[in-house]
Structure 1
Amino acid sequence: MTKPTLADLTAFASVAEHRSFTRAADALGLSRSSLSHTVLSLERRLGQRLLHRTTRSVAPTEAGARLLRRVGPVLRDLDHALDEFAQDQGTLRGTLRINASELASRLLLRSVVPAFLDRHPGLALELVADNRFVDIVERGFDAGVRLAEAVPQDMIAVPFGGEVRFVAVASPGYLAGNAPPRSPDDLRSHRCIRHRMPSGKPYRWEFARHGREWVVDVPGPLTLDHNGLMVEAAAAGLGIAYVSEQAARPLLDEGRLVVVLSEWSPPVPGLCLYYAGQRHVPAGLRAFIDVLTGRSGAPERPSPDAPGPDRRGGSGGGPEMA
């Protein structure tokens, strides 16, 4: 039997881990047909079917799972050794893939991305703006960026950017014709600009004061799915919007928007870059974290009693960050 090559084993391991020929092909930079041919040739050479294939899914067979358990750690160790060698030579290369919400991506593009690309000219960065909450491992991303409380508990999280605040805002013109709300319950008698989350569910506005929380399913004739549009709609006098203070800041400074219910809007933990803890951390990701935080050191795990991913943004939506 001709021994499989490193490329053969890497192709199989990638398909088995991604559970998809398409996503594995994207991660490896190959065509799907080429990857399929490589895996099929490996199966013929070994005389074993390694993958169950259906029109909707791919999963390792019993033999494939055994092989993956043996070669997976070896391939990760090899990747780690090559990364360390590249770091020693000062020439990091490859592509780093990060998934983030659209407005978190804008925030990264303002300072972090330019500094990263300038410091590491041999690295390429693929920043995918997607407001849906996705499984970064399944989709072949090295890391994701979301609000801290939206980060899955089994991920390693690296906080950055400090706390954020979500606020209810309205135009002076709207408030001139409508008494400002004095409590979250008063919103039920106002025109509110509702937010449709990427999951398709309407977002319920969240407030807190003196240790109590209010969750309000606000009424309103207008529903939008984009943070910037909600800010513009509020400035146009169409109702009260619930957005990140950072997104509304330019119009707040200009006096075109006013914060209401300010005392019910405490700051919350901000953005985190997160990644799978059980995987080898690529040198490119470590380099990005260094630029992101302005320091070196071990990233932090989320606290076991931190809010779960079913709150703000945790199910694929909620207010956007910036």
Structure 2
Amino acid sequence: MDRPALGDLEAFLAIVSHRSFRKAADELGLSPSSLSHMMRALEKRMGVRLINRTTRSVAPTEAGERLAARLGPALSGLDQALETVDAWRGGPSGTLRINTNEHAARRLLKEIVPTFLSRYPDMALDLVSDGRFIDIVADGFDAGIRLRESVPQDMIAVPFGGTTRFLAIASPSYLERRGVPKVPDDLLGHDCIRLRLPSGKLYRWEFEKHGEEVAIDVPGALMLDHIGLMAEAAAGGLGIAYVHELVAAPFLASGALVAVLSDWCPEIDGLCLFYPGHRHVPAGLKAFIELLREHDRRGKLG
């Protein structure tokens, strides 16, 4: 049997990981038809079917499963071997793909990203901030960044930036007109600016005080899918919004908005970078994690 090309084996692993020719092709920068041709050639060279294809699904055969199980660690070991030359070459190289949301991306762009790209000139950073909760492995990302409560339990989480909290906010004119809510249940008598999550569901506002937890399905005629727009709408007197404190901060500082129910808005665990523990951690991701920790130690992300 002729030895398969390394690129063909990497393409095979991508298909097995994604269970999709289209997603694997996107990750590899190929067309689905080219990838399909590569797999047919690989199967012909090896003399055995590796992948079962139907109109609805893609899955490895038993032979494909066994090959993938041995091939994954082998290619990971090869990556590690190649990374041993980084110290002589001057540092990590390649592209680091991170999925996050707009809020976290803005924080990273202030200090982390400029330092990372300056320190590691052979690295490129692909920062996707569409806000969707996705499977970072299936979608070809090296890592994700979300609030700690949203990190999947099977991932390794690296906290950074300290604690955070969400605030209920409204304009002074609205509160003068409608009154100030004293407890979360008072929101049921107010106009609230509601958040539609990427899943399509409406977010229930969550409060806590002295161990008492309350989740309110608030009323409101205005629904938005962007917390920055929610803060702007609240500043325009359209109702009460519930947003991250960093989004609210400039409006609070200018007096365009004031916080309500502050004693019901406790601090929560902040942002985490997360990645799968069963995979080899690329040198670029290791460098990015160390930079997050370095900035935390200096207090720059508080």
The equivalent of 1:301 in structure 2 is none
Deviates more, 1:251-260 or 1:28-37: 28-37
Distance 2:229 2:212 in 1: 30
The equivalent of 1:178 in structure 2 is 178
Distance 2:201 2:295 in 1: 39
The equivalent of 1:208 in structure 2 is 208
Deviates more, 1:259-268 or 1:42-51: 42-51
Distance 2:268 2:242 in 1: 15
AA at the equivalent of 2:110: R
AA at the equivalent of 1:79: D
Report the RMSD for the aligned CA atoms in angstroms: 1.4
Deviates more, 1:268-277 or 1:26-35: 26-35
The equivalent of 1:311 in structure 2 is none
The equivalent of 2:283 in structure 1 is 283
AA at the equivalent of 1:153: Q
Deviates more, 1:139-148 or 1:41-50: 41-50
The equivalent of 1:142 in structure 2 is 142
Deviation at 1:292, TM superposition (A): 1.7
The equivalent of 2:90 in structure 1 is 90
Distance 2:295 2:181 in 1: 44
* 2:85 match: secondary structure: helix
Distance 1:60 1:167 in 2: 48
Counterparts of 1:1-322 in structure 2, within 5 Å, are 1-294=1-294
What CA deviation, in whole Å up to 9, does each residue of 1:235-283 have, x standing for no partner? 0000000001110100101111010000000110000000000100000
* 2:199 match: secondary structure: coil
* 2:273 match: secondary structure: strand
Structure 1 stretches of 5 or more lacking a match? 297-322
Distance 1:19 1:101 in 2: 25
The answer (yes or no) to whether the contact 1:87–1:283 under 8 Å persists in 2 is: no
TM-score (norm 1): 0.89
AA at the equivalent of 1:200: G
Q: How many residues of Structure 1 are paired with residues of Structure 2 in the alignment?
A: 296
AA at the equivalent of 1:179: G
Deviation at 1:28, TM superposition (A): 2.5
Deviates more, 1:172-181 or 1:14-23: 14-23
* 1:294 match: secondary structure: helix
Deviation at 1:160, TM superposition (A): 0.8
Structure 2 stretches of 5 or more lacking a match? 297-302
Deviation at 1:88, TM superposition (A): 4.4
TM-score (norm 2): 0.95
Deviation at 1:190, TM superposition (A): 0.6
Deviation at 1:45, TM superposition (A): 1.2
CA distance 1:109–1:295, shift in 2 (3 Å): closer
Deviates more, 1:10-19 or 1:202-211: 10-19
Deviates more, 1:21-30 or 1:104-113: 21-30
Deviation at 1:129, TM superposition (A): 0.9
* 1:9 match: secondary structure: helix
Work out the percentage of aligned pairs sharing the same amino acid: 61
The answer (yes or no) to whether the contact 1:148–1:272 under 8 Å persists in 2 is: yes
* 1:121 match: secondary structure: coil
